[in-house]
Amino acid sequence: MSLLPVILSGGSGTRLWPLSREAYPKQFLPLAGEHTMLQATVQRLDRLAEEHPRLGLHVQDPLVVCNEAHRFLVAEQFRVLGRSTAGILLEPVGRNTAPALTLAALAAVAGDAARADPVLLVMPADHIIADAPGFRAAVADGYLLAADGAVITFGIVPTKPETGYGYIRQGEPHARAGLAGAAYRLHAFVEKPDLATAEGYLASGEYLWNSGLFMLRASVWLRLIRRLRPDILAACEAALAGGSRDGDFLRLDTASFEACPSDSIDYAVMERLSADVAEHGADLPAALVLPLSVGWSDVGAWSALWEVREHDAAGNVLDGDAFVHDAENNLVLAQHRMVAAVGVNNCIIVETPDAVLVADRNRAQDVKAVTQFLKNAQRSEHRHHQRVHRPWGAFESIDAGERYQVKRLTVSPGESLSLQMHHHRAEHWIVVSGTARVTCADKTFLLAENQSTYIPVGATHRLENPGKVPLEIIEVQSGGYLGEDDIVRFEDVYNRTPGEGC
């Protein structure tokens, strides 16, 4: 039997605005180290088989479940690592974690016989774990138990009376030969408590934070979801059956998946499993919890990032061109310009090219009010950064006014924009560096540095980078409408829809 990591990458990270945004959320950002949170999740298992040879373990390439709009970001993150995936399952809409795991389990058992019914290790893509060897040791124990047919969840040993997490109450110890750590019967899941209740949980020693990490065999999950939520299983089976493969991407039938109920792993199965074990113990697998004390954080708010980052002597976390004077316990992140904080304490100060956040560290959860305001006002800052990523590279707006817009485009080596036309705008392209291959109407030609061309309204055109270094151009748009949806796409190597932009 093998281990199949299942990485759930559907989060939007709105409480970490303005660094995390809907189109580029926190799992794609390097918030706590050199690598992004998704990349760190992938690398976390790298030495598992080597450190625990007794298992004779084969760790498969991970299966990723993500929002369809993030598919190129996920693929690029793996490409940068030089890693491959077992597939990238694309959700056309969010339906929470229970359908996501169901899709992964169905895909896992559809493989060849050598991979049939693997143990699934379900991991959110946006968590921090400081002690990776300790985490792998717990995963090794979880593998032994899950291979026996048990359902495993990992509970974080609490360090404070936290009111922002759900809790797990552990029951009596569970003995199994070969375990390096402790395992307990899962007694109950409980909702986020008030402060007094959380203090009682901490004092009792019986409660753990709910981490959202699970291990179980694919067939065990499918048996449970068939029994407890057959409606979810049926919708996921239909979505996969009506879907298609596009390279590493596994596309779902949109209508079938939109009809799927939205529910979490906890609500759909785990809570009912723990509640029903006493009555139906003979029919249900053992539900077990493994305590984890590995420096875990879900980085659910700026205050959590302040906690896990390295502090100076005054308790400040500084990143970028940041300066503080007579200031304590602040988080100051500067991306675009110098930021100075004088005489302030317990503040969150985050500067990006197009937005600045200043908040009391104790009110970090309230950042969601900003993103809700931006969304209601239909402003782009809730969704996009100033630099917008595309599968061919990226673009960023330099200037805009009535009937014009100026952008900087960076096209990666060997990549190309779609063959397209615009009804409402003309474009001027000036090559800053690299070499451009331009198609305009019935002509194709090369442009070198400092050369330019004009794309009239209605002309079919394409921009390509035939070189081995990035191509950078300045694009000046002019016309009565400059929206990204003014695209008629004729050919596209990335199989995008018109609504996905240039």
Sorted by sequence, the CB contacts under 8 Å of residue 9 that are 6+ apart come out as 27, 38, 64, 65, 66, 67, 70, 74, 124, 125, 126
- Inter-axis angle of helices 230-241 and 218-228, nearest 10: 120
- The one-digit pLDDT tens for each residue of the chain (502 residues) are 799 999 999 887 789 999 999 999 999 999 988 999 999 999 999 999 999 998 888 999 999 999 999 999 999 999 999 999 999 999 999 999 999 999 999 999 986 544 679 999 999 999 999 999 999 999 999 999 999 999 999 999 999 998 889 999 999 999 888 898 999 999 988 889 999 999 999 999 999 999 999 999 999 999 999 999 999 999 999 999 999 998 889 999 999 999 999 999 999 998 888 655 555 555 788 899 999 999 999 999 999 999 999 999 999 999 999 999 999 999 999 999 999 999 999 999 999 999 999 999 999 989 999 999 999 999 989 999 999 999 999 999 999 999 999 999 999 999 999 999 999 999 999 999 999 999 999 999 999 999 999 999 999 999 999 999 999 999 999 999 998 889 999 999 998 876 676 7
The pLDDT assigned to 114 comes to 47
Strand segments, DSSP code E, in 379-487 are 387-390, 393-401, 404-411, 419-421, 425-433, 436-440, 443-447, 452-455, 461-464, 471-479
Whether residue 168 contacts residue 189, with contact meaning beta carbons closer than 8 Å, is answered with: yes
Gap between the Cα atoms of 18 and 126, Å rounded: 16
pTM above 0.95, yes or no: no
In 10 A of CB 443, how many CB atoms?
9
Gap between the Cα atoms of 212 and 24, Å rounded: 22
Could you give the domains of the chain? 3-297 (3.90.550.10), 307-376 (no CATH), 387-500 (2.60.120.10)
Residue 347: both structure tokens together: 């503040």
The pLDDT assigned to 282 comes to 53
Residue 420: both structure tokens together: 């397209």
The pLDDT assigned to 273 comes to 80
**What residues pair up with 207 in beta bridges, in sequence order?**
169
Q: Secondary structure of 223-253 in the HEC alphabet?
A: HHHHHHCHHHHHHHHHHHHCCEEECCEEECC
Whether residue 474 contacts residue 405, with contact meaning beta carbons closer than 8 Å, is answered with: no
The pLDDT assigned to 277 comes to 53
Burial of residue 266, with CB atoms counted within 10 A of its CB: 0-12 exposed, 13-18 middle, 19 or more buried:
buried
The pLDDT assigned to 139 comes to 97
The pLDDT assigned to 76 comes to 93
